[in-house]
Homo-oligomer: A and B are copies of this chain.
Amino acid sequence: MKPALGIGIAGLGTVGGGVLKLLHDNAEYVARRAGRRLEVRAVSARDRRKERGVALNGAVWLDNARALASQPGVDVVVELIGGAEGVARDLAQATLDRGKPLVTANKALLARHGTDLAMRAEKAGVALACEAAVAGGIPILKALREGLAGNRIESAVGILNGTCNYILTEMQRTGRDFAEVLAEAQRLGYAEADPAFDVDGVDAAHKLAILASIAFGFAVDFGAVHVEGIRSITAADIDYARQLGYRIKLLAIAERTPHGIAQRVHPAMVPLRSPLAHVDGVFNAIVVEGDFVGRTVFEGRGAGAGPTASAVVADLVDIAAGRVAPAFGVPIRWLDNQPKAPIDRHRGTFYVRLQVVDRPGVLADIAAVLRDETISIESLLQRGRDPGEEVSVVMTTHETEEAAMGRALARIAKLGAVTEAPHRIRIVPN
């Protein structure tokens, strides 16, 4: 067997603890697949005294994570600190610049500075590996980069945030409203005390930026991702979705369009026939369409100590075995500059829910606005109440352009009988 590979780990939270446990429990399996042992030789974390349930077995403790990059005996650095800037970025740069491979689960870092880091990795001729950054234990980056390498990818559509999926699944299951389910998710540890990063779609957008770059071969472009979260989804929307044969999911979508590659994260009505409609709770899934392979679906746990450790160690095994692929599938100089489709050019069908006071002429006013924007209605549902009371008007449209829908809803919002801002949710075909 080849000499052991020395590992340095920065960050010993949930994931770091999982990586230590995996490397300990499955040391034999890992060594056989890697062709050598993987030895944790140095670690760094904020709190030295915290009980982590795993022995560090004489690994050197460094107070300064950045020092891992130059620590003798450390052949690979695993960055599990998180955050797009600060220590995580410093450590990543220092590691690659010293000619050592870097394994990271840090989606924010990759989404913001992926191209810079990949360039440093290439210059040094070492791996920058980030399987754990997207969809936890599902080996989706490897699948896109290597397993489906022969395909021109048409689209990759995923459920990439477990917190949002848990909240939407619970809203669907119990009929409760967003705020109530969020509070429960926070009590259960499925949502952070500050949930913004998850529920506003930013986390999913970071992951999508990485996924899209690998799928389509352009430099990661987080700024081009359109992001909406799930705060505006109500129990009423969930219920109407059910009646219409849909589930509401936070989707991360990257697809070829006539206007370029679209990258968007937003709640969507997913038809029940779609595999994504049945991905519930903390599970993640990605549906990839390739020109030769057709549709492939990948599903698994998107977060947590075990699945994330599984992805980190897979990257370590590849590095130990000498298998290196460019971080984004192709060398940086070959990433091309494909145009990105702005959200305004999105074409699709929509679900719209309006709260209106039920008086004569309301529907005629709404219909006139839609006609002016050439938006045609596919179905309309108005629950009867007594005249003069507030009712919901729910409709689905035929295909139209995002910009037209935006203009129409802005005008509708100003109609006297409309009592709150219109709710609109994009419908995906499958």
Contacts and interface: CB of A to CB of B under 8 A. Distances in A.
The count of identical subunits is: 2
A147 B152 contact: no
Contacts of A301: 293-296
Contacts of A295: 300-301
Contact of A307 (B34, B145, B292): B292
A321 interface: yes
Contacts of A159: none
A309 interface: yes
Interface in A8-63: 18, 22, 25-26, 29-30, 32-35
Nearest to A137: B293
B152 A29 contact: yes
Contacts of A298: 296-299
B150 A329 contact: no
29 contacts: A29-B150, A29-B152, A32-B330, A32-B334, A33-B145, A137-B293, A139-B143, A142-B143, A146-B314, A146-B317, A146-B323, A148-B314, A150-B312, A150-B313, A150-B316, A150-B317, A151-B310, A285-B297, A292-B306, A293-B300, A293-B301, A294-B300, A294-B307, A295-B300, A297-B300, A298-B298, A298-B299, A299-B299, A323-B325
A292 B137 contact: yes
Contact of A293 (B149, B306, B318): B306
Contacts of A30: 149-150
A34 B316 CA distance: 21
